C-alpha cells in the first residue's frame, strides 16, 4: 500500500501509520503526527532518524511510503540548498513554475517581504548565502502556502546570518500563519521558533514537547534551559551544567 491522501485538502497535517523502508531498512515505522492549522512544529532527531524523509513524504516528494497523509491544498518547501537556477534572474527564480499574470509584480512583493526588493534583477551567483536562502523563502511565500515545510534551511549559514534568518522566518510565520514543519538538528532553533517539538528516534515519535513560551523568546529564561536539557537528553547528549551553559551539543 502506498501513501494516500486521507482528504483532498486537510486543514493542517494529519499523518497516520506512515512507514518507509529503504533496501529493507525501516526508517519510519507507523508514524502518526498532527499539525494544527497555523501551528509551528519542529522535528528533531539523530542523523538517520527519518526527519527529512518524513518531511518529504508530507510534501509529496517521496511517494514510496505506506500510510495516510492529509495536507492543505497549498504546500511549499524550502531546502537546505537554495536550488536557484544560476541562468535566471532572482525574480524569475522566485516565480519558477507559477502560472498567471503579474509574475514580476508578485515576485517583487515576495522579495520585499524578505528584504530583497533591490536584488530582483540580480543573478543568483552574486548573492550571499543568506540572501540566496531568503530568495528561497520568497519563492515559497509567493505561493501563499497553507503548509510550509523547512528542511534544515539554515544549516549552511554562519551563526549570525542564521540568527537573522530565524527571526525572519518567525516574523513571516506570525504575519501569514501557515502550518510549519521545520526539520532541524539545532535544539535552540527548535525552541526559539516552534510551538511544539517532536523528537524522532528509531523510526517512531519518541517524545513531544509543548514549548509554551511567549514570543519573542530568550535563551536566558528558566523554561528554555529546562526544555533544552530534556531535548538534549532525549537526543542522547550529555546535559551536564557546562553543556547547558555553553551551548555545547546543540547540533
Q: Is the pLDDT of residue 244 over 70?
A: no
End of a domain among 102, 128, 144? Answer: 144
Q: Domain check: are 136 and 172 in the same one?
A: no
Residue 50's pLDDT is 92
Residue 81's pLDDT is 86
The reply to whether 79 falls in a domain is no
Could you give the percent of the chain with pLDDT greater than 90? 77
Whether the CB-CB separation of 87 and 158 falls below 8 Å is answered with no
CATH classification at residue 229? 3.40.50.300
End of a domain among 122, 144, 166? Answer: 144
End of a domain among 106, 125, 144? Answer: 144
The reply to whether 19 falls in a domain is yes
The Cα–Cα gap between 97 and 140 comes to 12
Count structural domains, the chain.
2
Could you give the percent of the chain with pLDDT greater than 70? 91
Average pLDDT over residues 95-123: 94
Instruction: Calculate the alpha carbon distances from 225 to 39, 113, 136, 233 in Å.
Output: 22, 32, 32, 12
The reply to whether 48 falls in a domain is yes
Q: Domain check: are 136 and 150 in the same one?
A: no
Q: Domain check: are 124 and 158 in the same one?
A: no
Q: Domain check: are 149 and 138 in the same one?
A: no
What would the pLDDT profile of 193-224 be if each residue is shown by its tens digit?
999 999 999 899 999 999 999 998 988 899 99
Residue 47's pLDDT is 85
Whether the CB-CB separation of 81 and 133 falls below 8 Å is answered with no
The reply to whether 80 falls in a domain is no
Give 12's contacts (C-beta < 8 A, 6+ positions apart): 34, 35, 36, 37, 39, 70, 72, 147, 179
Q: Domain check: are 235 and 161 in the same one?
A: yes
The reply to whether 226 falls in a domain is yes
CA angle 146, 152, 157 (to 5 degrees): 120
Q: Is the pLDDT of residue 133 over 50?
A: yes
The reply to whether 251 falls in a domain is no
Average pLDDT over residues 163-177: 94
What would the pLDDT profile of 76-102 be if each residue is shown by its tens digit?
999 988 889 999 999 999 999 888 889
Residue 239's pLDDT is 67
Residue 227's pLDDT is 95
Q: Domain check: are 97 and 63 in the same one?
A: no
Q: Domain check: are 125 and 149 in the same one?
A: no
Q: Domain containing 123: what range?
A: 85-144
Amino acid at each position: 500500500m502506498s501513501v494516500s491522501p486521507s482528504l483532498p485538502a486537510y486543514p493542517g497535517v494529519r499523518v497516520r501509520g506512515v512507514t518507509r523502508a529503504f533496501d529493507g531498512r525501516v526508517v519510519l515505522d507507523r508514524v502518526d503526527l498532527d499539525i494544527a492549522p497555523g501551528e509551528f512544529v519542529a522535528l528533531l532527531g539523530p542523523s538517520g532518524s527519518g526527519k527529512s524523509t518524513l518531511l518529504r513524504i508530507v510534501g509529496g516528494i517521496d511517494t514510496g511510503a505506506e500510510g495516510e497523509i492529509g495536507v492543505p491544498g497549498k504546500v511549499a518547501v524550502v531546502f537546505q540548498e537554495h536550488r536557484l537556477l544560476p541562468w535566471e534572474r532572482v525574480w524569475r527564480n522566485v516565480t519558477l513554475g507559477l502560472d498567471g499574470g503579474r509574475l514580476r509584480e508578485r515576485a517583487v512583493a515576495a522579495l520585499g517581504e524578505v528584504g530583497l526588493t533591490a536584488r530582483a534583477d540580480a543573478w543568483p551567483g552574486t548573492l550571499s548565502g543568506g540572501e540566496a536562502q531568503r530568495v528561497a523563502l520568497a519563492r515559497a511565500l509567493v505561493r501563499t502556502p497553507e503548509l510550509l515545510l523547512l528542511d534544515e534551511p539554515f544549516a549552511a549559514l554562519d551563526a549570525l546570518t542564521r540568527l537573522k534568518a530565524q527571526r525572519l522566518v518567525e516574523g513571516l510565520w506570525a504575519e501569514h500563519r501557515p502550518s510549519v514543519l521545520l526539520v532541524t538538528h539545532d535544539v535552540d532553533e527548535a525552541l526559539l521558533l516552534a510551538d511544539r517539538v517532536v523528537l524522532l528516534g528509531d523510526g517512531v515519535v519518541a517524545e513531544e514537547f509543548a514549548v509554551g513560551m511567549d514570543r519573542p523568546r530568550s535563551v536566558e529564561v528558566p523554561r528554555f534551559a529546562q526544555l533544552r536539557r530534556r531535548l538534549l537528553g532525549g537526543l542522547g547528549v550529555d546535559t551536564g551544567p557546562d553543556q547547558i551553559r555553553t551551548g555545547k551539543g546543540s547540533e
